Amino acid sequence: MEGGIKRRVTKVIDVGGVPVGGRNPITIQSMTKTDTRDVRNTVNQIRKLTRAGCEIIRVAVPDDESCRALPRIIKSIHIPLIADIHFNSKLAVGSIEGGAGGVRINPGNIGGKKEIREIVKAAAERKAVIRIGVNSGSLPKKWIRRYKGVTPAGLVGSALEWVKMFEDAGFRRLKISIKSPDIRHTIKAYRAIAERTKYPLHIGLTEAGPMMESAVRSSIALGTLLMEGIGDTIRISVTGDPVSEVLIAREILQTLGLRSFGPTIISCPTCARCCVDLVKIVAEFRKKAKGMSGKGKAPGKKVAIMGCVVNGPGEARDADIGIACGVKDGVLFKKGKLMGRVPEKEIVDTLIKEMER
């Protein structure tokens, strides 16, 4: 039970040294936006994502040159790498042989039983993981015909068909994802497959749009699933900087009480009653607190930064540390106890010092 949420207990698999499934923490994943053949830029982006909190990285491997670049990339990073493969099973085999912790394959375009056997042989020899990644945009035609369109039932049917193919080949180091840009389809599909298999689930809303749109849509879809205990790894799809994918994922997990990455900030939107520059104070505190969370300090703490006397004192008292601002200063509370007044220019440093204690 995490954050009051009863998580679905799944099979545990090892993804390049990171345990996924069971009662292990929900893992944050992202995907590079660079040309994989460009080793330097790809490594730099992965390092940037790692600093932001990414724990598993996926890279596209569209051709032989990209596949040959993987060993050099893997040698220069410190998180597991998953190779994203479409159309060519030999690239999946080559990626595994090059050191990838796993591969993501799409049942809609990777081939059939012969190709499965080749991938299984390589993955079994190197203890790699295979993610069966079904997407609404590339659902095999037989499932579209059977259900008269792209439906949650068709997405689940395709995934389970491929699970059986891998199991028949003697391979069970599997993870499953079923993605659609349709929020309702995504939720229904994951609910259905969660009832029919114990393999860990990678959850995501595909093609979710630019950052703001993605944050809203992903929070609704994935937040719903996570509250129902569904999901073992998470990726937020953003058209833009992949660092935002990681930050949104962290915020969703922390808000639900499933992970803790630092203090939770409670702050008011401000209004005419506010007599301090609360926007600036919150921005400065957030920046400094982010550095602290990277060092593992103040996990799970609630910090209230409030702009006036309406809700300010109540929220500040309820937080671990809180400031209720007045005219050019604020009243500091710690665990509900009044600690004294703090000048506006000292508010951020005072809050940081109290957190460090």
Per-residue pLDDT of the chain (357 residues; tens, 9 = 90+): 666 889 999 999 999 999 999 999 999 999 999 999 999 999 999 999 999 999 999 999 999 999 999 999 999 999 999 999 998 999 999 999 999 999 999 877 887 888 889 999 999 999 999 999 999 988 888 999 999 999 999 999 999 999 999 999 999 999 999 999 999 999 999 999 999 999 999 999 999 899 999 999 999 999 999 999 999 999 999 999 999 999 999 999 999 999 988 888 999 999 988 889 999 999 999 888 876 654 445 567 899 999 888 887 888 788 899 999 989 889 999 988 889 999 999 999 999 998 887
CA 353 to CA 348: how far, in whole Å? Answer: 9
Same domain? For 173 and 202 the reply is: yes
- What b/e string do you get for 196-219 counting C-beta neighbours within 10 Å, with b at 16 or more? ebebbbbbbbbebbebeebbebbb
What CATH number has the domain bearing residue 26?
3.20.20.20
CA 58 to CA 83: how far, in whole Å? Answer: 6
- Name the domain boundary from 228, 255, 282: 255
DSSP code for 130: E
Residue 206 belongs to some domain of the structure: yes
Residue 5 belongs to some domain of the structure: no
Same domain? For 309 and 164 the reply is: no
Name the CA dihedral angle for 291, 296, 301, 302, rounded to a multiple of 10 degrees: 20
Same domain? For 349 and 237 the reply is: no
Same domain? For 182 and 318 the reply is: no
Largest CA distance in the chain: 73
DSSP code for 21: S
Query: What's residue 315's pLDDT?
Result: 82
Q: Encoding tokens for residue 50?
A: 């790692």
Radius of gyration for the alpha carbons in the chain, expressed in angstroms and rounded:
23
Contact of 46 with 108, CB cutoff 8 Å: no
Neighbours of 58 (CB within 10 A): 23
Residue 79 belongs to some domain of the structure: yes
Q: Which domain holds residue 304?
A: 264-356
Contact of 3 with 257, CB cutoff 8 Å: yes
Q: How many domains, the chain?
A: 2
Residue 270 belongs to some domain of the structure: yes
Q: Encoding tokens for residue 319?
A: 């937080």
Q: What is the pTM of this model?
A: 0.90
- Name the domain boundary from 194, 228, 255: 255
Same domain? For 206 and 91 the reply is: yes
pLDDT tens digit string along 113-129?
Answer: 888 899 999 999 999 99
Same domain? For 135 and 90 the reply is: yes
Beta-carbon contacts of 270 under 8 Å, excluding residues fewer than 6 positions away, are 278, 279, 307
pLDDT tens digit string along 337-350?
Answer: 889 999 999 999 99
Place of tokens 């790699």: 128
- Name the domain boundary from 224, 255, 286: 255
The angle subtended at Cα 253 by Cα 248 and Cα 257, nearest 5°, is 145
